[in-house]
Amino acid sequence: MVKRIVVGAHYGLTDWLAQRITALVMLVYTLILVVSLLAGPSPSQESWRALMSGSAMRFASFLCILSLCYHAWVGVRDIWMDYVQPVGIRLLMHALTLLALIGYAGWTTQILWRL
Amino acid sequence: MKERGTKMLAKKRPKYLNLFEIRLPPAGVASIMHRMSGAGLFLMLPLLIYLLQLSLGTPEEFASFKAIMDYPLVKLFLIIVLWGFVHHFFMGIRILLIDIHIGVDLPAARASAIFVTAVGVLLTAILGVKLW
């Protein structure tokens, strides 16, 4: 029996799980989108707008964009943690990544919800 | 003995790999491409959201969307982004399957890595030709 002393912030498992759940959300959303596009009428702006403005689709798109931003946050943060050693620059990159992703989530939601 | 062990550890870490000397196995290549495609997709997000906005916007915005998409260089660029998505997508499925203990042993993991890399390139080529 090895007694390990666990140290650290303990966010590893949460992030690992979140990365998987958000991936599944985006996987399902991609399949819905591909099937809708293939099954729908010949592509035009009207049919594209009609597809994206349905309330179920709007809900799914919103979940997908939130998942994407969370997923990207975990992934990009891991990249900074692996390759950027100076703490100050790394923190700056973390902050910029987070702010950009929050902005993208708001921007995309606004595009989808004003339809 | 204990002291020697500590010294050896101290000597060996951190370990720097010469990227030009190591040869990655197929799973390693697929994995680093998963990371690179993820980083690329992240960097392309503003452009992709902007294109989404134009495509769902007013008829004038849609017209400019179509005009932008007609540039061969934009098409080529978006096909590279598409490759990033396709590779990241299928590599993600591979990781999820390995998480539920499917394809964990070496031959299976090796085969799935080669499969994912090939599907990424092939599907991108097919979709790329269709979308051109």
Domains of chain A: 12-113 (1.20.1300.10)
Chain A closest CA to B111's CA: distance in Å?
22
- Residue B13: what pLDDT? 65
Residue B10 lies in a domain: no
**DSSP 8-state assignment for residue B21:** T
- Cβ of A20 under 8 Å from any chain B Cβ? yes
Q: What is the dihedral of CA A86, B88, A26, A105, to 10 degrees?
A: 40
Q: How far apart are CA A77 and CA B15, in angstroms?
A: 22
* B32 → chain A, closest CA residue: A79
List pLDDT tens digits, range B55-90: 999 999 999 999 999 999 999 999 999 999 999 999
Residue B68 lies in a domain: yes
Chain A closest CA to B84's CA: distance in Å?
14
Q: Rounded mean pLDDT of A14-28?
A: 96
Stated as kind and residue range, the H or E segment containing B25 is: none
* B88 → chain A, closest CA residue: A23
CB B74 within 8 A of CB B85: no
Residue B11 lies in a domain: no
Contact A111 B52 (CB under 8 A): yes
Q: How far apart are CA B42 and CA A75, in angstroms?
A: 9
CATH number of the domain enclosing B110: 1.20.1300.10
Residue B71 lies in a domain: yes
ipTM over 0.85: yes
pLDDT at B6 over 70: no
Contact A111 B49 (CB under 8 A): yes
- Which residues in chain A have their CB less than 8 angstroms from residue B62's CB? 45
- Which residues in chain A have their CB less than 8 angstroms from residue B53's CB? 107, 111
Q: Is the peptide bond before B14 cis (omega within 30 degrees of 0)?
A: yes
List pLDDT tens digits, range A63-87: 999 999 999 999 999 999 999 999 9
- Residue B1: what pLDDT? 44
The structural domain count of chain B equals 1
Contact B55 A48 (CB under 8 A): yes
**DSSP 8-state assignment for residue A73:** H
Q: How far apart are CA B90 and CA B34, in angstroms?
A: 9
Chain A closest CA to B4's CA: distance in Å?
21
- Cβ of A30 under 8 Å from any chain B Cβ? yes
Q: How far apart are CA A69 and CA A109, in angstroms?
A: 12
Which of A20, A76, A112 has the CB atom closest to B99's CB atom? A20
**DSSP 8-state assignment for residue A54:** S
- Residue A109: what pLDDT? 96
Residue B15 lies in a domain: no
Chain B closest CA to A9's CA: distance in Å?
22
Q: How far apart are CA B54 and CA B68, in angstroms?
A: 10
Q: Rounded mean pLDDT of B105-132?
A: 94
Domain with B56 in it = 25-131
And the tokens for A101? 């992703």
**pLDDT band, residue A30 (cuts 50/70/90):** very high
Residue B101 lies in a domain: yes
CB A16 within 8 A of CB B26: no
Residue B8 lies in a domain: no
pLDDT at B9 over 60: no
Residue B19 lies in a domain: no
Distant-in-sequence, close-in-space partners of A27: CB < 8 Å, separation ≥ 6: B89, B92, B93, B96
CB pairs < 8 Å spanning A and B: 46
Q: Is A13 helix (H, G, I), strand (E, B) or coil?
A: helix
Mean pLDDT of chain A: 93
